[in-house]
Each structure stands twice: as structure tokens, then as C-alpha cells.
Amino acid sequence: MTSLIPGGLRTTAMGILPHTQVEPALKLALSLDIPFWPQLPHLSFYEDMYVQAAEHFPGIVLYPETNSIRFDTDKFYEGLVDLLDRWPDLDYFDLSAEYSAVYHRFLEVDLSGYPAIRGQMEGPVSFGLKILDENDKPLIFNDEVRGLLMDFLARRVQAQLVRLKAKHPGAFMFVDEPGLQFVFSSVSGYTDIMAKEDLDRFFSQIERPRGIHLCGNPDWEFLMNRDLDILSMDLFTNGEILRACTGSLKKFLERGGVLSWGIIPTWYEAVGETTVEQLSEYLEGFWDNLVEAGVDRDRLFAQSLLAPARCCLVNPDKAKTVTLAYAWLREMSFRLREKYGLD
């Protein structure tokens, strides 16, 4: 099966950057092979990924003064009719300029020279686990709301994907799902069966290419068995755990899936303790294990992207370490593509 997303050890990244200004953040995002529009939570409360996802969802109450977001059940029912009336208008579900300082600026840039471009939106499971109602109950447990939440966020992802595809035919989406690492814990109460049904419903409403990004450590086998075109993961932190998933990784690649290997750390302490050479050696060692398990090396390279390990907003030097990590990422890609004769 042919992949829908260009791999070839090109570079991309997840959405959040620590910058407080639009243009430097956009410039950094555009320095990668597959650029994205950055989310800048240090710039504005509305840049928070949960706040961005919440735009137009009935019942949401924002508190910018305390950087918090809540759900009000009475307001949900008050706003539900208006949402349903607007449902056929896909443009209504796209991200507005108020909720992103960069998205519409990104769409103004000439992106024709890139092999692909990428967008992102917070996923329904993470959103449902994070946002609490007036009784401090996560939305994911509200049976009257959860189904609409799945459909609403699918509509939002679809709206953005259509907008990005109009800009570039190679556009694709990351759905950020950090909350999936909690689904399989004994304290969640939201089971893998529920997650499977909800995510399958969610992704069935979104055109390809689409996939999931998360920096945590979920049940990887569960994710690799979803109908995704790309899976973005933090290999730097979770490499030893992922070694146990060789069989599922192999099947994911054979289905045409692309793996975005998060290999460059972005946090200050880790960057100071490693080098590009060490990181490349670690990554290639992981790939050797996949090849030994029967993965074709050419297929592996054709369906692999390189990325930072995760977003980081708390470095003492603000954006400096993240900028360095992006430089390391570009350097690693250049070295590996040259080593293995990739165009």
C-alpha cells in the first residue's frame, strides 16, 4: 500500500512552540521540510490547544484571567440548537483568527515549494478527559455530550484539513491525544473499548491523510491498530517500551502508515547531555531491530519522518533550546538522507 504522506526521513514537528512572537515562531516552523502553523500559548490564552478546540462548542465557558476552561450543562443545551443549525457550514468549524495568531498568517505564505504541510487540533478523548463540568465531572463521562463532542471535533479537524488542502494538495492533520496515555490506567474509568468506539467514529468523519500525535506512553498496540495514516511519537523517551511493539510497527508500515520518530529532545537538560551523533546511533539501532523483524529497509525510510521528541514550554532559555533542537533535527535528516542515498 502506498503512503499518502511523504516520508524519506524528512523533518516535521508537533504544534506547540514557546515563542511569544508570531514571526519568529512561523519562521522556525517553516524551516522544516513539512511545516506547520505553530500554537503559541505563551502569547495568548486562546493559543492553548484545549481553548482552540473549544471554539463554538456549546456550554464552554472560558476564564482567561485564570487560564481555565469549564463546561456548563445549562449553557450547552441553550447553545445546542444554534450549533446544529450551523452544522452544514463547514467554514464555521474552522479556526478563527481570534483563536490563533498564526494559522491565518500561515495560510498567507507561499507553501508550494514544500512536499506537504500539516495542521493540528486537540483530539476528542483528551478534550473530554480534560474539560470538567459544574460538578467536576469530565465530559467524556457525559453520555449525552460525548457523541456530539466526537462529531464536533471531527468537523473541526475536517474543516481545517479542507482549508489546508486548498492551500497545498499534500496537507495532512495531526490529532493531538495526550490523554490516551491515561485511558488504560486502572483509575481512568474510560475503557479501551469506549476509546476504540469513539475514535473509530471520530476518524470515520475525517478525510485522509490523518493521524495521531502524542508525547506520552499509551497502549501503542491499540494506536497502531487504528485506521491512521501517520503516528507521531516520542521515541527518545519511550524507545525501550516501543521495542516491544515491533510486530505492530511492522504491520502499521505494511498498511502504508508513516511513523514520525520524535528523536530530538527539546528540553534544556536533555539537550545538554547528548549529541546529534548519539541520537542518530540510537535511532538507527532501533531501525535495525525493525529490519531484523522483517521490515523492508527501503519501506521503512520511505515511510519515516523525523521530529522533535515533544513540545517544551518551560526551558529557562525560552525558545533558544527548542530552536537548537530544530537545527539538530535538520542536521540529522541531512546526514541520514545522505548516508542512505535518499533524494
Within 10 A of 320 (CB to CB), how many other CB atoms are there? 13
pLDDT at 188: 62
Structural contact between residues 36 and 213, judged by C-beta atoms closer than 8 angstroms:
no
pLDDT at 181: 84
- Give the model's confidence band at 249: pLDDT under 50 very low, under 70 low, under 90 confident, else very high: very high
Cα 137 to the chain's mean position, in Å? 25
Cis amide linkage into residue 64, ω under 30° from 0: no
**For residue range 260-312, what is the model confidence (pLDDT) as tens digits?**
999 999 988 988 899 999 999 999 999 999 999 999 999 999 999 999 999 88
pLDDT at 313 over 80: yes
pTM exceeding 0.85: yes
Closest CA to 30 of 114, 119, 91, 103: 114
Mean pLDDT of the 169-192 span: 83
Q: Which segment of 5-14, 54-63, 176-185 scores lowest on mean pLDDT?
A: 176-185
pLDDT at 336: 98
- Give the model's confidence band at 186: pLDDT under 50 very low, under 70 low, under 90 confident, else very high: low
pLDDT at 13 over 90: yes
**For residue range 90-121, what is the model confidence (pLDDT) as tens digits?**
999 999 999 998 999 999 999 999 999 999 99
pLDDT at 341: 95
- Give the model's confidence band at 58: pLDDT under 50 very low, under 70 low, under 90 confident, else very high: very high
pLDDT at 187 over 60: no
Average pLDDT, the chain: 94
Mean pLDDT of the 133-161 span: 96
Q: List all residues 6 or more positions away from 339 whose beta carbon is below 8 Å from its beta carbon.
A: none
pLDDT at 157 over 70: yes
pLDDT at 295: 93
Structural contact between residues 177 and 190, judged by C-beta atoms closer than 8 angstroms:
no
- In the numeric block, the cell 490523554 is attached to 179
pLDDT at 343 over 90: no
Walk me through the domains of the chain, giving residue ranges and CATH numbers. Answer: 10-44+102-123+145-339 (3.20.20)
Structural contact between residues 121 and 57, judged by C-beta atoms closer than 8 angstroms:
no
pLDDT at 324 over 90: yes
Q: Of how many residues is the chain composed? A: 343
Closest CA to 9 of 230, 307, 326, 240: 307
